[in-house]
Structure 1
């Protein structure tokens, strides 16, 4: 499971000579808020869509912008787990992939990284996984844990990722120690939380639900 195997070819790199109007058009087309920037085959960072919106000038060159996360990359032969680690360290949904000569090859998204783990892990897990969507200012793990504990459940681990379709929202993934989530789901919804998905424990060890549960336990998050 080396990083280069999961390069997302739908996400193109920008050049320093490109204009912000082009960057924004690409972002809207593929529904993403960041794009990699490459200068003569060298990864130089990520450009953020919010910055472009704030500038409000489609003629501005990418070279005139302040780029982010120039260190957000891994070598192509590193394990996909390193992509997740670097993504988390830089709070970025994209990680650039370089060959051993530091030549840019492409990017891997955090979603693709997680999917790769979910497809490969098949060890028996305990508990279930629930994914919530909310605004960042609504996030309180203490409050959510209190609600879950009121239904005799416990949050074993949690993980936050940005929603690629809505930059104002986050996705909160919870590992809960209960094999069945019906009552917890109903209580969270009663308190106004939106549940995107849930993966309940089943007996078959190769199920998708258990693979995702094992992913979170493996990452210790």
Structure 2
């Protein structure tokens, strides 16, 4: 799940000697509104379509435009989650990938990142999602898994986030392999766990749109 595994080779970088007219042509061809800018293998930032339209001169050199988002990058050995984090922080649908010598290797798109992360979290697998609120000292995935397994279910994946309503709490999101949650919820509550939300998936084929929706609910975005 490293960033370099998901580099999109169809999206080319712009060089300083390129012109904005060519940049727009590339954007139209590959259906994107942003391209990375490099100079001698060094990532400088991003050029957005709206900025080129503001200039309104197809002969303007990329060198004459200050690129945005110079920090929109990750090292190649970082997890795909880091790509999603940087994408969110930089409000960009592409993230540059650099090696440990800071050489530009390519970019990863937000769409590819979501698809890869969804796979890693078993989003495609039929089941359900349960979200617990608990204190960090009370967190024990092995204990929670044991309780869930006592109801003939298994934890396929888990995800921890801070609770925005209480700094002393965490939210533990669990993807389970069972769609029926009534007995699982009752057992978790009997052991003192607070369930703050849950999602039971319908049976049937999951579309790509539903798959992404499941991921966003899983991440509580």
TM-score tier after normalising by the smaller chain length:
0.5 to 0.7
Q: Determine the structure 2 residue equivalent to 1:57.
A: 57
Count of residue correspondences: 149
CA contact (8 A) 2:129 2:218 kept: no
Q: Determine the structure 1 residue equivalent to 2:36.
A: 36
TM-score (norm 2): 0.61
- The offset of 1:201, in angstroms, is 1.9
Query: The residue matched to 1:77 in structure 2 has which SS?
Result: coil
Distance across 1 between alignment mates of 2:119 and 2:112: 10
Distance across 1 between alignment mates of 2:33 and 2:213: 28
CA contact (8 A) 1:11 1:35 kept: yes
Pairing 1:137-148 to 2, within 5 Å after superposition: none
1:2/1:208 Cα in 2 relative to 1: closer, same or farther (>3 Å)? farther
Distance across 1 between alignment mates of 2:207 and 2:18: 42
TM-score (norm 1): 0.61
Larger radius of gyration: 2
Distance across 2 between alignment mates of 1:22 and 1:44: 18
CA contact (8 A) 2:13 2:35 kept: yes
- The offset of 1:121, in angstroms, is 2.4
CA-atom RMSD, angstroms? 2.5
Query: The residue matched to 2:45 in structure 1 has which SS?
Result: strand
CA contact (8 A) 1:16 1:61 kept: yes
Distance across 2 between alignment mates of 1:65 and 1:213: 37
